[in-house]
């Protein structure tokens, strides 16, 4: 349901990135995860619902890499995108062998996106549209979306709850971003409506009262 990811990758190597031009935001569309073969191909972890559209030949990305990387401050341009054994693989300009590909592993790919632009798919939203929305269950606000995680099986809304756990801290709840659990997204209204299964936002009390009358007890 969600579009391209917004949140930067975690980890101490992630550099502080300059802000995008006025009226634009930067969207994370992929990560380079593994060199493939000897001719510079690199396997991708995708954070976009439209890989063929994002990785067309000539598409150029801003790279998020450590300052020590030889690619720091340089753009990366797609030469070819294909699927190999169901894995997305790309070739890039200036990356002609496995050694050059290895230098880019763990790099995160970003593009500039007009903040006024709408996603091209129905029931699709950019991450920056979702982050900050109130999460409402049964007419009551139970938390707020703090980020969107894109997993292989499905997207997850990470919700910081309004309540506190036993240690007095606000909890983060992972809400599957599927129609059955998130039936309504109201960006203009600043909210998402959730119908979560029991136990997602609260602990289900365990049976701590001892065995029932019809249960055998130890001698």
- The 10s digit of each residue's pLDDT in 50-65 is 888 899 999 999 999 9
Q: Where are the domains of the chain?
A: 24-114, 131-193
> Could you tell me whether strands 191-193 and 134-137 are parallel, antiparallel, or unpaired per DSSP bridges?
parallel
Identify the CATH class of 24-114.
Answer: mainly beta
* HSE-CB for 17 with a 13 A CA cutoff: 23
Give the model confidence (pLDDT) of 16-51 as tens digits: 333 344 456 677 888 999 999 999 999 999 888 788
Q: What is the DSSP letter of 211?
A: -
Give me 207's structure tokens: 């049976």
According to the model, what pLDDT value does residue 27 have?
Answer: 79
- Closest Cα partner for 192 from 201, 182, 205, 202? 182
Fold agreement (24-114, 131-193): no
**pLDDT digit string (tens) for 1-10?**
444 433 333 3
pLDDT tens per residue across span 65-96:
999 999 999 999 999 999 999 899 999 999 99
Pick 131-193's CATH classification: 3.40.50.1820, 1.10.10.10, 2.30.30.240, 3.30.2270.10. 2.30.30.240
Q: Scanning the structure block, which residue is given the tokens 């136990």?
A: 199
pLDDT of residue 200: 85
Residues 151 and 159: their CA atoms lie apart, in Å, by 16
pTM: 0.51
Q: Are 199 and 206 in contact (CB under 8 A)?
A: no
pLDDT at 117: 57
What is the arithmetic mean of pLDDT over 176-181?
Answer: 91
Helix (H) or strand (E) holding 51: helix 51-54
SS3 191: strand
Q: Please tell me the distance from the alpha carbon of residue 174 to that of residue 155, in angstroms, as a whole number.
A: 10
């Amino acid at each position: 349901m969600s579009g391209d990811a917004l949140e930067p990758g975690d980890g101490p190597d992630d550099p502080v990135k300059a802000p995008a031009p006025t009226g634009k935001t930067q969207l994370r569309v992929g990560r380079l995860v593994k060199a493939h073969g000897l001719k510079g191909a690199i396997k991708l972890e995708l954070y976009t619902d439209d890989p063929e559209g994002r990785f067309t030949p000539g598409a150029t990305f801003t790279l998020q890499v450590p300052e020590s990387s030889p690619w720091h401050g340089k753009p990366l341009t797609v030469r070819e995108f294909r699927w190999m054994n169901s894995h997305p693989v790309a070739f890039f300009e200036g990356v002609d062998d496995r050694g050059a590909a290895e230098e880019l592993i763990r790099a995160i790919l970003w593009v500039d996106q007009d903040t006024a632009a709408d996603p091209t798919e129905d029931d699709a939203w950019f991450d920056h549209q979702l982050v900050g929305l109130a999460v409402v269950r049964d007419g009551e606000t139970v938390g707020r979306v703090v980020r969107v995680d894109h997993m292989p099986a499905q997207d997850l809304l990470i919700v910081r709850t309004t309540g506190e756990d036993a240690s007095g801290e606000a909890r983060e709840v992972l809400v599957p971003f599927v129609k059955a659990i998130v039936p309504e997204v109201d960006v203009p209204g600043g909210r998402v409506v959730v119908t979560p299964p029991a136990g997602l936002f609260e602990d289900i009390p365990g049976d701590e009262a001892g065995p029932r009358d019809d249960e055998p007890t130890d001698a």
